Structure 1
Amino acid sequence: MRVEGTAAIVTGGASGLGGATAAALASEGARVYAVDLATSIRSAPEVEGITYVEADVTDPEQVRAAVAAASADAPLRTVVNCAGIGPSARILGRKGVHDLALYAKVIQVNLIGTFNMLALAAEAIAQTEPDGDGQRGVIVNTASVAAYEGQVGQAAYSSSKGGVVGLTLPAARDLAQYGIRVNTVAPGIVDTPMLATISEEFRAGLAAGIPFPKRLATPAEFASLVLLIVGHDYLNGETIRMDGALRMAPR
């Protein structure tokens, strides 16, 4: 599927994986609508072809408004869900039992937010004219290797990302009749702004545990994989690990 002259939505599009993906889609000629919170948008760079849209992915009305804005001037063809949070807490820790509100928030943002955007964007994509192969669009979600090998303190995060993996195939099957593909990327350790505060020694330790290449992945590599998925019309219902053959240890 070609993206030139079409609209794309990228959640979490102001920085990190989302920022790199938004820039990559814009470089291919897409009109990109980067959906993020106001606090993140304020520090986002100005990039030609990217329009920043303030919205909370867990709010149906705000997501509907973002989808409507993206669909106004060009057919919406691509949606990439990158928005997410990753707080760490043990089920039983020094401060007691895992806070249920924190657990619920992680599920709400990472899983329900992904579903909310997927469903409402699919509604708009389904109303567009298909291409010559009957294809209308593609949705790419973001999981994590933690969906498979969650570490100590990742009960909430792993639950949410495991839900995204579990959503992939039924969503692809549900939306097949509309010519909409659904795939997921499960990244390993990526050098995003969330890792900017850790020491070089700790970063080197993370990289040492990766079989090959022995380094952290880059947001640009994630973005290039998204472009491959968008352009590969036979990829559907699949979760692709991007992790350098990493299998996470318990801690």
Structure 2
Amino acid sequence: MHIKDRTFIISGGASGLGLATVRDLHSHGGYVAILDLNAENGAKVVSELGPRVMFFEVDVTSTPTIEAAVAGTAVWIKETNAALGGIIPAAGVGMPGKLIDRHNEPIPIERLDFVININLRGTLDLIRLALPLLSTNTPTKPDGERGVIVMVSSSAAFDGQPGQVAYAASKGAVRSLTLPLARDLAPLGIRAMTIAPSYFESNMTAQMSDKVRASLERVLEFPKRPGKGDDFALMVRQIIENVMMNGETIRLDGATRMPSKL
């Protein structure tokens, strides 16, 4: 699929890996609808990139705010005539915590809900609400493609660390749903792919302690650095442009495997 003159919906697009993807798709001629809770950051991105970017203040755990953003994107698409090309649910949180603490107290269920509702429910909710904008596209030649979905899992879906039960559960679910989603949407000419980044520079990893960061840096293979937003955005672009990428989760980790102990 060509990026130029197509619209892409990106949740979590006002910062981190989502913002890197916004910048990359915009630089290749795409239109981007940013869905994010941080209105201040969103306004800055729109001011910087100009009229091919639209911001919608969205809480991905709130269906009405997603519905409003999708409806607004539909109106924008009619104005620009830039059909929706892809959905990229990139909003995510970590919030580590073991199920039982050192005082033998179970973790509050609200903490589990917070992680799972953003990382999993928010992903599925955005996809289901935006899909009608993809499924009604005119199929492109020669394969009859209508669009692509690029989801975000994590290396935690494969080798989660202590304290990552909720996070690994949410990201593992995204990994697991990739193939059935691709199969569901294949008759419509819509692809579904997932990227599973390892240790990347992001707002989430910026909150890590020095001890955790040092433990991760010790197990890096090659390159000997955390991933950068540009690395992630390039992978998104390659998925969009390569029609044979479908139904799979790609580890983007430089051969890194997370250690069992910090």
Q: Give the alignment's TM-score, normalised by structure 2.
A: 0.90
Alignment of 1:177-216 (within 5 A): 177-197=187-207, 203-216=213-226
Matching residue of 2:13: 13
Whole-Å Cα distance in 2 between the matches of residues 194 and 47 of structure 1?
A: 24
Residue type at the aligned position of 1:63: I
Residue 36 of structure 2 is aligned to residue 28 of structure 1: no
Aligned to 2:56: 53
Q: Write the deviation string for residues 176-224 of structure 1: whole angstroms up to 9, x where unpaired.
A: 1111100000000001133335577864542221111111000110000
Q: Distance in 1 between matches of 2:111 and 2:214?
A: 30
- CA deviations on 1:137-191 (whole Å, 9 max, x unpaired) are 0000000000111111111000000110011011111111111100000000001
Q: For the residues of structure 1 that align with 2:165 and 2:102, how far apart are their CA atoms?
A: 16
- Cα distance change on mapping 1:222 and 1:90 into 2, 3 Å: same
User: 2 CA distance for matches of 1:166 and 1:36?
Assistant: 25
Instruction: Point out where structure 2 has 5 or more consecutive residues left out of the alignment.
Output: none
Deviates more, 1:100-109 or 1:31-40: 31-40
CA contact (8 A) 1:23 1:50 kept: no
Give runs of aligned pairs for residues 94-109 of structure 1, distance below 5 A.
94-95=102-103, 96-109=105-118
| Cα pair 1:187 1:242 within 8 Å, conserved | yes
User: How far apart are the structure 1 equivalents of 2:21 and 2:192?
Assistant: 17
Residues 1-251 of structure 1 aligned to structure 2 (within 5 Å): 1-38=1-38, 41=41, 44-45=44-45, 46-48=48-50, 49-72=52-75, 73=77, 74-95=82-103, 96-132=105-141, 133-197=143-207, 203-251=213-261
Structure 1 residues 42 and 237 mapped into 2: Cα distance closer, same or farther (>3 Å)? closer
Q: Is the deviation greater in 239-248 or in 119-128?
A: 119-128
User: For the Cα contact (< 8 Å) 1:15–1:44, is it kept in 2?
Assistant: no
In structure 2, do the counterparts of structure 1 residues 111 and 201 end up closer, same or farther at CA, with 3 Å as the change threshold? closer
Q: Distance in 1 between matches of 2:99 and 2:43?
A: 34
Measure, in 1, the Cα distance between the counterparts of 2:221 and 2:157.
19
CA distance in 2, matches of 1:173, 1:145: 23
- 1:93 aligns to what SS in structure 2? coil
Q: 1:157 to 1:43 in 2, by over 3 A?
A: farther
3-state SS of paired residue (2:23) = helix
Amino acid at match of 1:4: K
Which is further off, 103-112 or 48-57? 48-57
- The separation in 2 between residues aligned to 1:42 and 1:33, in whole angstroms, is 10
Q: Alpha carbons of 1:155 and 1:201: their partners in 2 closer, same or farther (altered >3 Å)?
A: closer
Structure 1 length as normaliser, TM-score? Answer: 0.94
Q: CA deviation at 1:232?
A: 0.4
The CA deviation string for residues 34-56 of structure 1, in whole angstroms up to 9 with x for no partner, is 11003563674332332221112
Partner of 1:32: helix, strand, or coil? strand
Q: Secondary structure at the match of 2:49?
A: coil
1:41–1:54 CA contact under 8 A, matched in 2: no
